Amino acid sequence: MNRSARCYLLTVAVSLSASFVPCAHALTSSDALPSGVRAAAFVYGVAPEVTSAFDANGELESLVSPLNRSVTFEELAEFEPELNRLKNVIDSIYPQNIGNQLLQADLYADAKVHEQRYVPALLWGITDRLSLGTMVPISKRRIEASFDAEVTNQGRKLRELVGQIPALKEAAQQLQNANVNTALFTEKIFAEHGYQTPTNYHKSGLGDVEFETRYLYFRSEMLNMSARANLKFPTGEANADPTNLLDRPFGNGHYALKLGLLQDFRPFGPRWILSSGLFFTHNFEGRERKAVRKSADQLLPDLHDPQQIEMLRKKRGFDLASDVGISRSFFDGVIWIAASYLYTLHAQDRYSGDRSLDYASLSENTRSEEHGVEYSFEVSSIQLFLKEMFPIPGKLVFAWYQPFRGKHAMYTPYGRMDFALLF
């Protein structure tokens, strides 16, 4: 199998290094729960169809774009010895590289990711300024994937043209009988190295459970300021199936500490809120089982070699997230509409192991950034409850997140529904 053909698979593996659905959210309120009040919440996030990612230049490309290309006769000749001998015969008679007109394959791959996330949560108001909470994410993922090859074989036509000329007649017959099809490519690109051919699959599982502390350290009619500390536990499955290029774990495999500052500013009275948030996440060292190349000269790890699959030490880069937004209330706080801008940055990951493998290559393209906007619509009964006009205090939020620029990040528009009930 030639170097360029093997490179397709490597590029696909690198381009899919990020998780599919981050389900971040903007316009997080700085408010704290009153003392003794609890909130039961449920967040549902859905990415209806993820098909592309931002590349290093910020351009969108298919998740499996390296596999979508034409393979020339010269490249095909390196797949099969018989084709290579046939190429030599044709080239000796037609030195103008006519082989590309006689035999060519077009590779087509497609992948669509559908993901849903369910996050039940519970928060307690310890004092009027301090709240504690916990969140349990559960994810469900379905991937539709396919790989196919369309082959143009002009062997029959060549036989009609060459007539009874012995050398050409034999070459034409060999060309017509050439066993170039989808099965050949799935064997040479995938199975020969221990990988599965892209196909449909689905999975579900628990993510990393989070515990959070919220503290409202400044409060006035015009300005609220609060701080948050969030500790994430490695409860989710953190190791993907190395044979499945499209598989991604639901957990990160390490502890993470997230610190945030939030501000709500009301310069025009209670109906308008200008909000901002800044979050920094420190990711502690964890472990992850991955396939690793022996050296830079080996384009792909050989999954048939157990020495190239190792439980590595992983130091995930820090995460930085910020958002700014504006919201407006109607009907005395019953309806809120909001819009916000989000920016996220993930620093480069680092891997290390004990087998002198090419660990540095695993860090390539792991630094990512993304810009997006979120729009939300909220219905709240809290003010009506305080006025004894409604029996239950709660709120329901519908939001849509739309990324518009990024680098090495999945292009993941998604919708979100938040439901909270106070008791």
Find the mean pLDDT for residues 332-339.
Answer: 95
pTM of the complete model:
0.84
Domains (range + CATH), the chain: 3-422 (2.40.160.40)
Residue 186 CA: distances (Å) to CA of 66, 74, 143, 248, 303: 15, 19, 19, 21, 15
The more confidently predicted of residues 195 and 161 is: 195
Per-residue pLDDT reduced to its tens digit, 7-34: 333 333 223 333 455 544 444 677 788 8
Distance spanning both ends of the chain, measured CA to CA:
65
Q: How many residues does the chain have?
A: 423
Per-residue pLDDT reduced to its tens digit, 34-58: 899 999 999 999 999 999 999 999 9
By C-alpha distance, which of 413, 275, 382, 278 is closest to 338?
275
Is residue 105 a contact partner of residue 185, using CB atoms and an 8 Å limit? yes
Q: What is the C-alpha separation between 23 and 345, in angstroms, rounded?
A: 15
Per-state percent for the chain, helix, strand, coil, to nearest 5: 20, 45, 35
The secondary structure of 386-407 as a DSSP string is HTTSSSS-EEEEEEEEEEEEEE
Give the pair of three-digit tokens for residue 409: 């990040």
The more confidently predicted of residues 198 and 234 is: 234
Which range (92-101, 267-276, 318-327) has the least confidence? 92-101
Q: What is the C-alpha separation between 216 and 31, in angstroms, rounded?
A: 7
The pLDDT of residue 1: 40
What's phi and psi for 275, nearest 5 deg? Answer: -115, 150
Q: Per DSSP, what are the bridge partners of residue 283? A: 256
Residue 126 neighbours by CB distance under 10 Å: 16
Per-residue pLDDT reduced to its tens digit, 352-407: 999 999 999 999 999 999 999 999 999 999 889 988 999 999 999 999 999 999 99
Alpha helix (H) ranges present in 31-98?
73-77, 81-93
Burial, 164: exposed, middle or buried (Cβ in 10 Å; 0-12, 13-18, 19+)?
A: exposed
Element containing residue 13 per DSSP (H, E)? helix 3-15
**Exposure on the CB side of residue 163, measured as CA atoms within 13 A:** 2
The owner of tokens 């709120």 is 395
